[in-house]
């Protein structure tokens, strides 16, 4: 199900647009993802582990052009500030489930963009004829993200102990959360 672009004013006064990603965004999305990986301790990969070609990134963008999937970007004059994917399963037994992932550029965090993106995504998912459940995972010490997810109604399904290793002796648990949208 497609998404009509939205024009938004953030707390910092900037006017931005939230729209679906298109294949032409591939290189800009790679650059943005490398920046998220560089500036957050709560991503599953390090920056040097993420090296897709623009063609591979375009394939990932295209994989969201399905009824139960959506890849949103927030842009300031076409600079990508944030990426928010809802990746729906394509096997019939799980087509009602989509996996979420959100990241915002460091300089744009704390301006209400996370809240706005969740409002847009959940309202899209509620209207989506296929989707029933949104799921996500997060580091147990990512309190900003956990607060955001709880604020939008997500509840904890389970905890995987010591799932992420941040250094030789430094582990975080993986918090599994979900929201029923129907
Ligand atoms: C997590 C993230 C998406 C939140 O987006 P954001 O734009 O910074 O968040 P917002 O300003 O919209 O705030 C949303 C909510 O998050 C929580 N929050 C925001 N900043 C917080 C802070 N410093 N401490 C605790 N909670 C905080 C609050 O619940 C807030 O809602 P409220 O302002 O109505 O109380 C963003 O910070 C980010 O991309 N971080 C790095 C990557 C990341 O951690 N991604 C998630 C991986 S699971």
Topology of domain 6-180, CATH: Aminopeptidase (3.40.630)
CA 18 to ligand 1 centroid distance, Å: 17
Q: What is the mean pLDDT of residues 149-159?
A: 98
Looking at the predicted structure, is the pLDDT value of residue 119 above 90?
yes
Q: Give, using CA atoms, the residue closest to atom 34 of ligand 1.
A: 115
Q: Is 175 in the pocket of ligand 1 (CB under 6 A)?
A: no
pLDDT at 1: 85
Q: What is the mean pLDDT of residues 79-100?
A: 98
Looking at the predicted structure, is the pLDDT value of residue 90 above 90?
yes
Q: What is the mean pLDDT of residues 119-143?
A: 98
- 69-73 long-range contacts (CB < 8 A, ≥24 apart) are 69/98, 70/1, 70/3, 70/20, 70/98, 70/121, 70/124, 71/20, 71/21, 72/3, 72/18, 72/19, 72/20, 72/21, 72/117, 72/120, 72/121, 73/18, 73/19, 73/20, 73/21, 73/25, 73/29, 73/32
Q: What is the mean pLDDT of residues 10-18?
A: 96
CA 93 to ligand 1 centroid distance, Å: 32
Q: What angle do CA 22, 80, 53 make, to 5 degrees?
A: 60
CA 42 to ligand 1 centroid distance, Å: 12
Looking at the predicted structure, is the pLDDT value of residue 102 above 90?
yes
The answer to whether the beta carbons of residues 137 and 174 sit under 8 Å apart is yes
Pairing, β 6-9 against β 70-76 = unpaired
The mean predicted confidence, pLDDT, of the chain is: 97
Q: Which residues have a Cβ under 8 Å from the Cβ of 4 and sit 6 or more positions away?
A: none
| For the CA of 108, the nearest atom of ligand 1 | 7
Cα(24)–Cα(20) distance, integer angstroms: 11
pTM: 0.98
Q: What is the mean pLDDT of residues 16-45?
A: 98
Q: Is 104 in the pocket of ligand 1 (CB under 6 A)?
A: yes
Q: What is the mean pLDDT of residues 155-166?
A: 97
Q: Which helix (H) or strand (E) holds 105?
A: none
Q: What is the mean pLDDT of residues 149-171?
A: 95
| For the CA of 39, the nearest atom of ligand 1 | 41
């Amino acid at each position: 199900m497609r998404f009509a672009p939205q024009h938004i004013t953030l707390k910092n006064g900037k006017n931005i647009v939230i729209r679906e990603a298109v294949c032409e965004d591939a290189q800009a999305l790679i650059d943005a993802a490398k920046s998220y990986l560089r500036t957050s301790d709560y991503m599953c990969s390090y920056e040097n582990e993420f090296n897709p070609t623009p063609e591979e990134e375009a394939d990932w963008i295209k994989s969201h052009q399905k009824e139960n999937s959506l890849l949103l970007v927030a842009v300031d004059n076409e600079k990508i500030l944030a990426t928010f994917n809802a990746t729906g399963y394509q096997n019939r037994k799980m087509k009602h489930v989509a996996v979420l992932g959100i990241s915002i550029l460091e300089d744009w965090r704390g301006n209400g963009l996370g809240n706005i993106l969740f409002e847009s995504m959940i309202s899209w998912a509620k209207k989506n004829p296929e989707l029933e459940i949104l799921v996500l995972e997060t580091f147990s010490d990512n309190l900003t993200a956990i607060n955001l997810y709880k604020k939008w109604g997500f509840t904890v399904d389970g905890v995987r102990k010591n799932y992420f290793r941040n250094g030789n002796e430094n582990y975080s648990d993986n918090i599994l959360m979900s929201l029923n949208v129907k």
